[in-house]
Structure 1
Amino acid sequence: MALETVVLAVGPGDADRIDRLAEETVDIARPSAATVVLGHVFTDDEYAESLDRLGFDTTTSEVSPNDVADRHATIRELAERLDDAGVDHAVGGAVGDHGDSIVGLAEEADADLVIVGGRQRSPAGKAVFGSTAQKVMLSAPCPVTFVRADTK
């Protein structure tokens, strides 16, 4: 199987994982010349907050989740690192449940791999709070690489 498209799922908790996510994504995508889709998923509340925080004027035109994701600080930082490493990339945004929307972005991009970040949690913690990464791993249309946060 050729690796042509990689979706890097980025969420609100990934700002502290940028180094690891960028490093792992470059290590995977660069050797195969794969295009990376930087996918940012917003809940309805996160989307509304981001529209306001980023200064979008929604009264004059419709703003897409791609537009908002493209201006998000975490996406811009990752895009810069991919540029520095010579890795082609695009941005994809979505609004909805994080896990389901990441799977949707992977399907839409016809991804060969999804990369998700997360932190280690106990089984009880996952059962009580859910796990976006777990949902993606079980539902994605392709293999998933989990990048754990540094545990320093």
Structure 2
Amino acid sequence: MYRILAAIGTDEDRALEQAKAIADLPRDGDVSVTLFHDFDDENPQGASVHQVAAVRRAAEYLEDEGIEVTYAEASGDAAAAILDTAEEVDADLLCLAPRGRTPAGKALFGSVTQQVLLEGSRPTLVVGAGRPSE
């Protein structure tokens, strides 16, 4: 079983890009994708990963492609949560879709993708990196 952790934000188009990129990967055996969403704050409304439209859109596409989907969620530091969840699910590959900030925005606010790439040790597929956020 090849395990992929896809960190999904709230942008449905970006989530679909991730799902398509995962489905396009060569598959010699079974593939399982854990769709992960990090709620920025402590999630006071008690939302679930299943309620995030972008997650649902990615799940529908992957399931239509015959790929097994599971779910995970966290609240707080997104990069740390992605790395922790990757460890928990023993991911063979991470799939991220950065927001496409300007270089100044990245310098001022940092980048979850950049932090995961620098601190992580797992192979990482970065999807749509050149597309500016809307």
TM-score range, shorter chain: 0.7 to 0.9
Q: Is the CA contact (8 Å cut-off) linking 1:6 and 1:112 kept in structure 2?
A: yes
Q: Aligned equivalents of 1:99 and 1:114: distance in 2? A: 12
- Check if 1:110 corresponds to 2:90: yes
In structure 2, the residue matched to 1:11 is: 9
What is residue 57 of structure 1 aligned with on the other side?
Answer: none
Alignment partner for residue 44 of structure 2, among 48, 56, 59? 48
Tell whether the 8 Å contact from 1:5 to 1:110 is kept in structure 2 after alignment. yes
C-alpha distance after superposition, 1:106-149 (max 9, x if no partner):
11111011000014344433221100100111122311111125
Q: CA RMSD in A?
A: 2.2
1:74 aligns with one of 35, 40, 54: 54
Match of 2:73 in 1: 93
Distance in 2 (CA, whole Å) between partners of 1:17 and 1:30 is 22
Q: CA deviation at 1:101?
A: 0.6
Unaligned runs of 5+ in 2: none
**Higher helix share goes to which structure?**
1
Find the residue that maps to 1:141 and give its secondary structure. coil
Gaps of 5+ in 1: 55-67
Report what 2:24 is aligned to: 27
Identity of aligned residues (%): 36
Count residues with an aligned counterpart.
Answer: 132
Q: Report the TM-score when normalising by structure 2.
A: 0.85
Query: Rg larger in 1 or in 2?
Result: 1
Indicate conservation of the 8 Å contact 2:9/2:15, yes or no: no
Task: Give the deviation of 1:29 after TM superposition.
Answer: 6.8
Instruction: Using the TM superposition, give the Cα deviation of residue 100 of structure 1 relative to its aligned residue in structure 2, in angstroms.
Output: 0.8
